Chain A
Amino acid sequence: MANRALGVPRLTGPQPVATPEVTARHSPGNEPLLKARTREWPDQVFFVLMLACGLSVLALVGLIVYELVSKSGLSWHAFGLGFFVRSEWDPVNNQFGALPFVYGTIVSSLLALILAVPLAVGVAIFITEMSPRWLRGPLAFTTELLAAIPSVIYGLWAIFVLVPLLRLHVQPLLARYLGWTGLFEGPPYGIGMLAAGIILAIMVVPIVSSITREVMTAVPQPQREAVLALGATRWEMIRTGVLRNARAGIMGGVILGLGRALGETMAVTMVIGNRPEIARSLFAPGYTMASVIANEFSEATGDLYLSALVEVGLALFIVTIIVNILAQFLVWTVTRGMPARSHG
C-alpha cells in the first residue's frame, strides 16, 4: 500500500486522471476528513447513540465495581482485612474467613502454570520455528481449539476420565516415589488440588502459547539470520535470538494465563473437592474463590453470608484486573509497532 502511494508510474495502459491510489494511504492513525461532530442533526443523533454505546462499556465496569463494593460492605465492616487471613468458614455461626479459598486459588493456579508454561512455550517454538510450513496453520488451529472447549466440558471429562486415571495410576506412583516431599501424601481420592491444577493447565496452554507465538513472530527475521550467520545451531538461534527478545512478551502471556486460571470456575469446581481446608498435600481436596461463589451463592441464607461471598468476588475481581493489565502491558512492550490483532 505504501509503495503504491508513492505513485510509481505504470508504463502500460492509460493513466487514470485521478489515481485513487494516491488517497488510499489509509492507516489507523490517519486524521479523519470531517470533525467528530457536524451541524446536521441526524449526524449528531448518530454520534450521541454511538457515544452511548461506548459509554456503556465504561458503565459496565463501573457497575461491576459498584455492585461488588456495595454488596460486600457488610462483610467488610464485620471482619475488615482479617477476612483474608481467617480460615474458618462457618455459615451456621456467621463466621467467615477467606484464607482457604485464597490459598486454593493461588496453589491451583501456580500448579497450572508450572505444568502449562513449558509445554505452551514448547508448542509455540515448534510452530513458529521448527514445524514445516504446511503444518503451521493446522497446528495453530488445533491448539486454539483447546480454548474453544467450554469449561463445563473440561470438568465433565475430568470427573470421568482424568480423576479415575489419577486415582488408579498416577497418584500411587507419585506417592511411592515423591511421597517424601510431603506434597503427594494421603489417600489418593483422585479429586483434589492436583486434578484441579492439571485441568487448569490444559485450559491455560492455548492462551500462553498463542501469545508466545504472537511475540515470537514479532521478533524481526534479520535477528534470526544474524545469529545463524554466526554459526549458531537452530536451538541456539531460538534461545539467544528469539526467546531473549520475546522474554517480556512471553512473561505477559504467562501472566495472562494466570489471570485466566485465577478466575476459572466450572472445571475447577467439579474436580477440586470443594472443602475449605488448607493442606500441604496436593492430593487433598481444596476450594477456590471462584468455586465457593459458584457453589454457595444461590443458596446463601443471611445477609452476612451473601456479603462475604461477594467480598470474595471483589478480591478475585481486583486481582484478575491487576494481573490482566500487567499482562497487556508486557505484551504491548514487545508487539508495539505491529498492526493491531484480535485477541486469540
Chain B
Amino acid sequence: MMADRPVSLLRRAKNGAATLAAAASVVLVLAPLGAVFGYLVYKGIGSINWAFLTQTPKPVGEAGGGMANAIAGSVLILLIGSIVGVPVGIGAGIYLAEYGRTRFGDLIRFTADVLNGVPSIIVGIVAYGLVVLTQKHFSALAGGVALAIMMVPTITRTTEEMLLLVPSAVREAAYGLGVSRWRTTLSITLRTATSGVITGVMLAFARVAGETAPLLFTAFGNQFWNWKLDQPTAALPLQIFTYAISPFDEWHRQAWAGALILIILIVVSVSAVRIAASRGMLKGAH
C-alpha cells in the first residue's frame, strides 16, 4: 500500500518471527523422528545376533533366544494378506478405471475411501468374527485376512490412478488392431502402468507390515514355530508389543532388536518406492 515508505519495523519483526516459528516447528517435528531412529539403532543393534534371527523365544528368566518364529510368522501372514488382498485390490482398481465412470463407480470409490479410514482395531474385530469364530481357532489365516482387508482400498485407489495415467490412445491402438477388450486391459493398459501399480502395492504392504492391532485377536501370537494356517501364529509387531509391556529387561532388549528389524524392512520398501517415483518410473506411460 505504502510503496514509497520502507516496511515498518513491526511488520518486519512479525515476518521474522513467523519465519523463525516455521523453522522451529520443522526442528521440533524432526526431533522425535531422529530420537526414534537413534534409539532404535542404539538399543537394537547390539541385540541383533545370529541367535536372535534363528531361535524361538526362551522361557522367562533364561537369556538368549530370538524372534525367528515371529519373523517367519510375519512373512507368512503378510504373504496370505497379499495373496488375498492384492488381486482384489487391483481388480477393483481396474473396474474403477476401465468401467467405473458411472454413479456406481463413484459409490465404490467413496466406499474404498471409507474403508481406508476404518481403524485397524475394528478390522481385527471383523476378521475375528469372520474367520476365528468359524474356525474356532486363532490363526495365521485370520491375521492374513485382516491385513488383506486393510490393503484392498489403498491398492484399489492407486491402481485406478495409475491406469488413468495411461493415454487412451494406447488402448485405442490395441482396439484398432482387433485386440479384445480384456486382453487390452491386461496386456496393454495394466502392463504399461505396471511400475505404478507395484508402487501402490508396496505402499499398502509397508502400511500393514507394522500393523499390530488387527493381529491381536486374529493371529494371536505364538512362542513356537508354526507353519499351519489354522493355528495361532507369532508376528513381529505382536512380539514387540508383548515384550515391550513385559517387566523383563531381556525381553525389552529383544523388543528393540525386533523393532529395528521391522523398521529396516519398512524403510527399505518405502525408500525403494520413493526412488522409483523420483526416477519417473511412476509415470506409467512412456
Residues of B within 8 A of A (CB): 1-3, 7, 11-12, 14-15, 17-19, 21-26, 28-30, 32-33, 35-36, 39-40, 43, 87-92, 94-96, 98-101, 105, 107-108, 111-126, 128-130, 138, 149, 152-154, 156-158, 161, 164, 166-169, 171-172, 175, 180-182, 185-186, 200, 203, 206, 209-213, 216-217, 220, 237, 240-241, 244-245, 252, 255-256, 259, 262-263, 266-267, 270, 274, 278
Contact = CB atoms under 8 A, between A and B. Distances in A.
Q: Count chain A CB atoms within 10 A of each CB in B1, B40, B96, B216 and give the residue with the most.
A: B216
Contact of A290 (B98, B129, B213, B267): B213
A50 B91 contact: yes
Contacts of A46: 181-182, 185-186
B88 A53 contact: yes
Contact of B15 (A26, A43, A127, A235): A235
A150 B210 contact: yes
A121 B28 CA distance: 12
Give the interface centre of A24, A145, A153 by most chain B CB atoms within 10 Å. Answer: A153
**Looking at chain A's contact residues, is the secondary structure mostly helix, strand, loop, or mixed?**
helix
Given A149-B263, A297-B217, A313 B210 contact: no
Q: How large is the interface on A (under 10, 10 to 19, 20 to 34, 35 or more residues)?
A: 35 or more
Contact of B115 (A31, A60, A238): A60
A26 B169 contact: yes
A34 B190 CA distance: 17
Interface string A27-45: 0111111101010101101
A130 B23 contact: yes
Nearest to B162: A342
Contacts of B25: 118-123, 126
Given A32-B98, A53-B88, A313-B121, A149 B24 contact: no
A282 interface: no
B119 A298 contact: no
Contact of B210 (A28, A118, A139, A152): A152
A244 interface: no
B158 A43 contact: no
Given A57-B115, A313-B125, A123 B33 contact: no
A123 B26 contact: yes
Contact of A266 (B2, B122, B181, B213): B213
B194 to A, nearest CB: 16
Interface of A: 20, 23-24, 26, 28-34, 36, 38, 40, 42-43, 45-47, 49-58, 60-61, 63-64, 67-68, 71, 118-123, 125-127, 130, 137, 139, 141-143, 145-146, 148-157, 159-161, 202, 205, 209, 230-231, 233-236, 238, 259, 262-266, 270, 290, 293-294, 297-298, 310, 313, 316-317, 320-321, 323-325, 328, 340-343
Contact of A298 (B18, B91, B216): B216
A63 B30 contact: no
A123 B241 contact: no
Contacts of B39: 157, 160-161
Interface centre among B167, B200, B274 (most CB of A within 10 A): B167
A24 B29 contact: no
Contacts of A53: 87-92, 94-95
14 contacts: A30-B168, A32-B101, A54-B96, A64-B126, A68-B126, A121-B25, A149-B33, A152-B237, A156-B244, A157-B40, A263-B117, A290-B213, A321-B114, A343-B116
A30 B40 CA distance: 50
A342 B113 CA distance: 11
Q: Most A CB atoms within 10 A — which of B18, B117, B161, B180?
A: B117
Nearest to A233: B15
Contact of B7 (A68, A127, A231): A231
A341 B158 CA distance: 9
A213 to B, nearest CB: 12
A156 B259 contact: yes
Given A157-B36, A160-B252, A234-B15, A297 B128 contact: yes
A321 B117 contact: yes
A70 B35 CA distance: 44
Contact of A50 (B12, B98, B124, B129): B98
